[in-house]
Structure 1
Amino acid sequence: MPNRESQVNVSSLAVLSRANDIPDYIGSAAVAVTNKGLAVFHFEKWTLAQQAEHFQKFLDQPGRHDKYGLVSSCHMSSWGDIRTCMKGPNDNDGLWTSMYLASILGYPGRSFAKRTDFPPSPDWYPSPIYSNLQFKGDTSSDEIVGHEFVYPLVRDLLAENDNERQRAYILTFNITNHILTHDWYLMGENHTHTTWGIWNPILVNDNDFYQESRGLNSLQILAFLLQTYAYSGDERFLDGAYLLTESYQYDVNLINEKTIAVCDNSFSDDELAYLSYFTLVHACHSITSSSSLSPKQKQHARTLIDHLLEYMKVGLNLSHKYKQMEKSPFYNFIYCYVSGQVNQTRRLFKKHNLSSTKSSDFDCHSLSNDGIWYMQRWPLELIDWQQFNSDRLDIQINVPAECSSKPSSLQMLPPDERSSKKWNGNIYDLDDGSGFNEDDPAAFLLSYWGMRYFNLLE
């Protein structure tokens, strides 16, 4: 827990107004006299585009959050002093970047580092390809979801030539083919399946340990298979999806993608689910609009797509009943895309004779406004300063949700009134932060560009 004695005490506060013909706070400055020194706050009016530009420049700074091409968090040895930033690998680096160092086709490592960066560790393995590098093993489904989400977008939106598009396609193909040919497992460096790289129905459906992730893992593997089929036309992937739905009811599993229970709210699983929702619908759209698949192939896929979209929307709306309360631009832009309420997917649902909107759907105009509000309140500084909101008189503690030592709020606080987190963090935490870490701005940038691309900022 943070040390309350390290809090800054404000002994005097003065507001200096610059003009009278504009809102009071614009162009003004607040000067606070504290026991640590002076603090000056400037008030400026920015657009979201300016905010995105600020964060992009922030991310592009040399030596700050770029470690060997990976987006890295910054850990500081001195409280709040970015000059002491120390970058390092993270278990989930694979959500953002892929590195194949294990010499196992279709198996990306969690992260990588130079062998001289730190002493040997049992979780790290020397690369058989690059003698000066090591990779972190036991890759989980988290990393695979990240790879399968981003490569199709690279292929469709970022690649500048056929060679780059082919590289993105091959990476997608190799991962999905690896899982398919290894009996629905991700096989790692020890020639056994990794701890969380599991999509086999024997465990997903029949093992109580995986009950909570049954819907999530079913969603993931169906998204992987259809996305790879969309670009390869390889019938093995479509046949695999049919097998998992017809013989093992993976389509029905989508209804209960999110398990709702007190003390069992996994924000990390929510992030993985929404990325997989996006991948699944993007795959369906790619199949139906493909110029390389034959009419016979599209027709063969159509029955399955109709089926999956119906079940998927039931589970999606159940999930978003809870996620919409967070006002997240990330979750909201994905929901609008996946529910068929943007131009790109509205045509998909119409083509398959499915109503793009139902009475149970959430209105994307309202969701967009919530997302805009959230980004407007996003702090420009991303250091995880200590927060002690549980002392506030205007906070209502969510007593039934107190499942750990940290108190939770009943209502979410704005992002500039609590500790900085990625989308897999608990946004209801009241007391958090240390002042020794600086996050990267990728969570904001993905949300902003997602909303902008789908015209949800208008």
Structure 2
Amino acid sequence: MKYIQSKLLVVIGLLMGLTAVHGQHLPTSNHRTHQDIPFIQEYSVKYYSSDDTGDLKKVYSDRNGTVQVLGEKWLLRTHAGAFLYPGSFTADKTYLAMKDKNVRNITTVENQFVYLDDKAVFSNAWAGSLYLKHGLSGAVNFAHGEDFSFLVSNGSTIHLVNKEGVSYKGKISGSPVIGITYDKNSGNYYLLAENKLMSFSASSKKLDILTEGTGFTSFALREGKNKIAIGTTDGYFEWNLLSNKQEGSKNKALPWPSLTSLVEINGLLWFGSEQGAFMQKEDGKFNYYLGERWLPGDKVLHISQKNEDEILILTDKGLAKLVFMSQTLAEKAIFYRNQVRDRHIRHGFNATLVQMEKGNINSGRIKDSDNDGLWTSMYLGAEAFRYVTTGSADALQNMKESLDAMERLYTINDIEGFPARSFSRSGFKDQLGGSVHWQDASDPEWVWKATTSSDEVIGHVFVFGVIAELVDNEALRQQAIGLLDQLMTHIVENDWYLIDFDGKHTTWGRWNPEYVNGFPTMVGDRKLNSSNIIAMLQTAYHFTGKEVYKKEAYKLMDKHGYLENLMRPMEGIGKAEEGSDDWAAMLSESWNHSDDEMYFLGYWGLYRYAFTEELKEKYRIAILDHWEAERPEKDGLWNIFGALVDRENFDLEEAVWYLQEYPLDMISWNVKNSHRKDIELLEPNFRNQSTKEVLPPDELKLRRHNGNRFDLDGGNNGKEEYSAGDIWLLPYWMGRYLNVISEPLPE
């Protein structure tokens, strides 16, 4: 977003398409720091129709904020409805006499509701004095002109009506009229049919055909521009009213070109289509609203403005109220903090809400995960950075609870230094995911999950290092250092393996040179495992002082080539060459984004706890090489990690863009983008980058940092809500700690 000091101007700025993050980034201590002033956060409040609602047609709001929907059977009002808590419709019984009115259309004049029925144009505003008989059988369309005059049409005939009565009657040949609008600058009404655009002069009573074509569906007057935008079944074009010519060619490069509705709001075009709604920004690109994150249904019927910061979008399955709220990143962090604590903490773990009924957050349960230790490490890191930055007692207590959960991963089994993936009460063992890996604890009340992987281990080491280095609570520091030492002792004494309950190494807990160097150099696991284990050993040495960790790290680097492995440029990572074994071929089929997460979490210990300045410089080169490869994804966490090694040249604007554009709604709604005509698709490639430019997070499916941000389609039908603990709070609070994001600035 462009930053504007006034909250009011921020809101208006959004509606005018000022959506690129080119904000004011003032220097702090000679470094680039994002100044946290208000930006625009979008969210949707949805109202679902029911079987007895009937077809929906139009939606408007009056000056009182009352929303009224024109339905097939009756006028409707919205009932209840709030963010994350959908509302519904109820018949509007406000005025008893309206029950007998056969309302065919609705609009607003001076922000008051005005109706068209089979007899008249009328309103309940202005003390009910507006009642103009139009005398037109089957009237379905109308528009307000000057001084309470209206042009009314039944498709084939038009009547101009005012306080004196019907002043004009005329016939329309060909396709029926489907829409009417009025231009106060010229004094002309404009009428749209499926095959032509017409003008009607209220003063001369002259009807002219301006242009003809096919497939016209909707139109919008461009205020102050002497143009009309015309939507079709295959894109839109603009007609210049002064030159009476089409401007340029038809624009088909839209998210979806089959248009159903078109309106101008604050100078920008909003489009309804068979596949969602979209707003054209000043740079010509689009904000796209599709799927139940935004809309109850895909087919858009009508769009109107409610007030300066709300847009109403009526669909075939209900109504969406888009709200454009002004907030700071700090305020967004508070919202997410409450989300995590309210429904994403399981025994201290940072967990996902699952088995929800179509987005109903009160219907789900918090689930164990193979990655409980990893997701909790990332959330625990966020709370550690929050505590260090703000001194929050709440953050400290959250840390204690989550670190206790982490510690219990080590104590719930009998294997010294081996962390379980997760633990749970035993009564529901048969219902737990991946039940084959669940083992009975010594206490029959509990079970624990085996087969721990390197994903969990690097997450543990990352957060143990963060706590040990930064947190001024000695009990927590010693707890973290003790767990770190136990874990690394297990790995060193077991020849660089994680040894499970059965005495065998786990599938992924392997850093042994024979395994690591058994991969061809282009297979990513050779570089990744080398980078991770050196980071882990450096972290252990830094906080325990045990020489064994330093000695073994140098042995891996000097004797087994781990330094060469981790320094290998990312451009050399690709598919295993022909003739490689099946394991190497499987691991190198395409780019692994979980590997990215493991790399970057490891970079904390690799860079900050380097044995020497010479090594630190080498690590810096390797980290920046990886970061450069990841730049197209615009992942907020990778960019914040970039600031760890280069405060001046990391992508600050893109990190802020990620944090600002991430949806407040963290529900796994289905999304679709592969059909879009406004994005540039790439040929299949090793990195699975599907488009030239990554789409905003609020137009993509929900995913953690280990997901491919170029996946265009997907979701889980609203059955899950992700925790913000690892996805959003970690990059934000890490950015606050590194002072690349400021505290919220006073207004």
State the TM bucket, normalised to the shorter chain.
Answer: 0.7 to 0.9
Q: Distance in 1 between matches of 2:617 and 2:475?
A: 36
What residue in structure 2 maps to residue 191 of structure 1?
503
> How far off its partner does 1:245 sit?
1.2
Q: Distance in 1 between matches of 2:332 and 2:307?
A: 23
> How far off its partner does 1:308 sit?
2.9
Q: Distance in 2 between matches of 1:410 and 1:7?
A: 29
Q: Distance in 1 between matches of 2:478 and 2:622?
A: 34
> How far off its partner does 1:278 sit?
1.2
Matched, 1:81 2:393: no
Matched, 1:119 2:430: yes
Matched, 1:283 2:604: no
> How far off its partner does 1:279 sit?
1.6
What residue in structure 2 maps to residue 348 of structure 1?
none
Q: Distance in 2 between matches of 1:151 and 1:321?
A: 27
SS at match of 1:44: strand
Q: Distance in 1 between matches of 2:493 and 2:454?
A: 16
Identify which of 423, 439, 445 aligns with 2:722.
439
SS at match of 2:692: coil
Amino acid at match of 2:692: L
Q: Which runs of 4+ in 1 moved over 4 A?
A: 207-210
| Structure 1, unaligned runs of 5 or more | 19-27, 285-300, 343-361
User: 1:55–1:397: structure 2 CA closer, same or farther, 3 Å change rule?
Assistant: same
Identify which of 557, 565, 573 aligns with 1:245.
557
Amino acid at match of 1:230: H
Aligned pairs for 1:48-447 (under 5 A) are 48-61=329-342, 64-95=343-374, 96=376, 98=406, 99-100=409-410, 101-119=412-430, 121-128=435-442, 130-158=443-471, 160=473, 162-208=474-520, 211-256=523-568, 258=570, 260-261=573-574, 264-284=590-610, 301=611, 305-337=612-644, 339=645, 341-342=646-647, 363-364=649-650, 367-401=651-685, 408-434=690-716, 435-442=718-725, 443-447=727-731
Q: Distance in 2 between matches of 1:398 and 1:236?
A: 49
Identify which of 320, 323, 331 aligns with 1:39.
320
Q: Distance in 1 between matches of 2:503 and 2:487?
A: 16
Q: Distance in 2 between matches of 1:220 and 1:438?
A: 30
Q: Distance in 2 between matches of 1:76 and 1:330?
A: 28
Contact persistence 1:451–1:457 (CA under 8 A): yes
Q: Distance in 2 between matches of 1:250 and 1:387?
A: 42
Q: Distance in 2 between matches of 1:191 and 1:41?
A: 56
Contact persistence 2:354–2:721 (CA under 8 A): yes
Residue deviations 1:326-362, cap 9 Å, x none?
A: 222210111221x2x34xxxxxxxxxxxxxxxxxxx8
User: 1:402–1:270: structure 2 CA closer, same or farther, 3 Å change rule?
Assistant: closer
Amino acid at match of 2:670: Q
Q: Distance in 1 between matches of 2:470 and 2:620?
A: 26
User: 1:270–1:60: structure 2 CA closer, same or farther, 3 Å change rule?
Assistant: same
> How far off its partner does 1:257 sit?
6.5
- Once structures 1 and 2 are overlaid, which stretch shifts more, 244-253 or 392-401? 392-401
> How far off its partner does 1:38 sit?
2.1
Residue deviations 1:149-193, cap 9 Å, x none?
A: 001212233352x22221111000000111011111111111111
Matched, 1:10 2:321: no
Residue deviations 1:374-399, cap 9 Å, x none?
A: 11111111012111101111122222
Of Structure 1 and Structure 2, the greater strand share is in 2
Q: Distance in 2 between matches of 1:269 and 1:402?
A: 14
Residue deviations 1:390-443, cap 9 Å, x none?
A: 111112222223999xx9333210111111111000100111112211111021
Q: Distance in 2 between matches of 1:208 and 1:402?
A: 17
> How far off its partner does 1:246 sit?
1.4
User: 1:322–1:207: structure 2 CA closer, same or farther, 3 Å change rule?
Assistant: closer
User: 1:207–1:403: structure 2 CA closer, same or farther, 3 Å change rule?
Assistant: closer
User: 1:93–1:113: structure 2 CA closer, same or farther, 3 Å change rule?
Assistant: same
Q: Distance in 1 between matches of 2:523 and 2:700?
A: 33
Residue deviations 1:300-337, cap 9 Å, x none?
A: x4xxx344334323322321222122222210111221
Matched, 1:455 2:739: yes
Query: When the two structures are superposed, what TM-score results if normalisation uses the length of structure 1?
Result: 0.82
> How far off its partner does 1:115 sit?
0.6
Of Structure 1 and Structure 2, the greater helix share is in 1
Amino acid at match of 2:439: Y
Q: Distance in 1 between matches of 2:444 and 2:669?
A: 40
Contact persistence 1:251–1:311 (CA under 8 A): no
Contact persistence 1:72–1:87 (CA under 8 A): yes
SS at match of 2:305: strand
Residue deviations 1:217-258, cap 9 Å, x none?
A: 111111111111111111111110111111111111112274
User: 1:53–1:165: structure 2 CA closer, same or farther, 3 Å change rule?
Assistant: same
User: 1:211–1:390: structure 2 CA closer, same or farther, 3 Å change rule?
Assistant: closer
SS at match of 1:432: coil
- Once structures 1 and 2 are overlaid, which stretch shifts more, 112-121 or 134-143? 112-121
Contact persistence 2:429–2:438 (CA under 8 A): no
Query: When the two structures are superposed, what TM-score results if normalisation uses the length of structure 2?
Result: 0.51
> How far off its partner does 1:140 sit?
0.3
SS at match of 1:16: strand
Q: Distance in 1 between matches of 2:615 and 2:686?
A: 36
User: 1:316–1:57: structure 2 CA closer, same or farther, 3 Å change rule?
Assistant: same
> How far off its partner does 1:208 sit?
4.9
SS at match of 1:186: strand
| Structure 2, unaligned runs of 5 or more | 1-290, 378-405, 576-588, 743-747
Q: Distance in 2 between matches of 1:395 and 1:42?
A: 25
